Structure 1
């Protein structure tokens, strides 16, 4: 009877929650990438105002709790007439928070490109935006790949916090099943395995990106 209950009710509910986790993670990764590049480029802007604003943004979101930020977006903003759905709140909250870390990846990767290449492009009278798009950005993206891969894994794990704003993700459904069945060890073991299954492709992507970035840097030193 227990095995039948487990097969027909527990596992499907956990898998459904895992689907919500994957969808939220994918949406949050896109939001994080957008924020990362916008803030990362602002950190390198010629405008002092933009640089300082981006610096304050990064320090604020890195220096405060993601959970509290989610609570603020979901519970406090409605008091001022701004009503967001739980899923939108989760994507915005994760994007803003993890984007502050991603912006440093973007900034440091761009700054790691040899300044001599930029000077060479300028000596050929190439416009600044073409130099950036054709010379700097392609190399910087390769350098960013491993770090962004690790950040994507962190995003998947951070989605577990959205269960606290009523989203029926993997963690939420696992907790609900623990309360209703009392099978604590079994259910949380399944939740761990499902998170591992979700993150394994990302782990493999990170390993590939690290090898690719390593070959690129080796080739650059050899030039």
Structure 2
């Protein structure tokens, strides 16, 4: 069970990192000034958000090795790519909503100060948007953790796969799957705890950053 737990942790961490990257990439594509670029970002989000994660994993694992793709991926790589792309699409929607939640007066004030677009984004918009995006992002990360249980269906020895093996060998179904539930719960609470600490630090940093100039003025 511990070996399977370590595999699950590895998959979750790397998939979360890939999902964060894809969230930023997809959001940037969908906000681009060119229609074709926006179309590419929208297609990515709608396809991965509108189809089953399990079917996506099967597609990467069973279809890509066939002609004309001839692309063979290890089960671990398939899991990382599948989970990262799938939840990155949902993350893009969260980030886009958070960006829209920033009050319009913030944009107008930045324009009045003649701030460049990059400075407006990094100093005014993104810090506030990240605060708004973090609570739903924490839920999405926990969903990704639970989604790792599907990787057992493509022969990867994660926690769920090990639990099924032990169940078949010992027939202690109640004890094994109760322990499996407990391990997933502990991992989810660990993710939530780390992200809440990060959320508090980001929030305090943004509050101080926006309060000091006002007090000085």
TM class by shorter chain equals 0.7 to 0.9
8 Å CA contact 1:145, 1:213 repeated in 2: no
Query: CA offset at residue 212 of structure 1?
Result: 7.8
Query: CA offset at residue 210 of structure 1?
Result: 7.4
1:93 aligned to 2:72?
no
- 1:190 corresponds in structure 2 to 179
- 1:3 corresponds in structure 2 to none
- 2:127 corresponds in structure 1 to 138
CA distance in 1, matches of 2:3, 2:75: 17
TM norm structure 1? 0.85
In structure 2, the gaps of 5 or more residues are none
In structure 1, the gaps of 5 or more residues are 1-13
CA distance in 1, matches of 2:101, 2:30: 14
1:62 aligned to 2:37?
no
From the superposition, tell whether residues 67 and 19 of structure 1 become closer, same or farther in structure 2 (CA, over 3 Å): same
Query: CA offset at residue 162 of structure 1?
Result: 0.5
Query: CA offset at residue 209 of structure 1?
Result: 6.9
8 Å CA contact 2:159, 2:180 repeated in 1: yes
What do you get for the CA RMSD once the two structures are aligned? Answer: 2.1
TM norm structure 2? 0.87
1:151 aligned to 2:140?
yes
How big is each residue's C-alpha offset from its partner over 1:104-154, in whole Å with a ceiling of 9 and x where there is no partner?
011111111112211221222211111111111111111111111111101
For 1:82, what is the secondary structure of its paired residue? Answer: coil
Q: What are the residue-to-residue correspondences of 1:10-25 with 2, within 5 Å?
A: 14-25=1-12
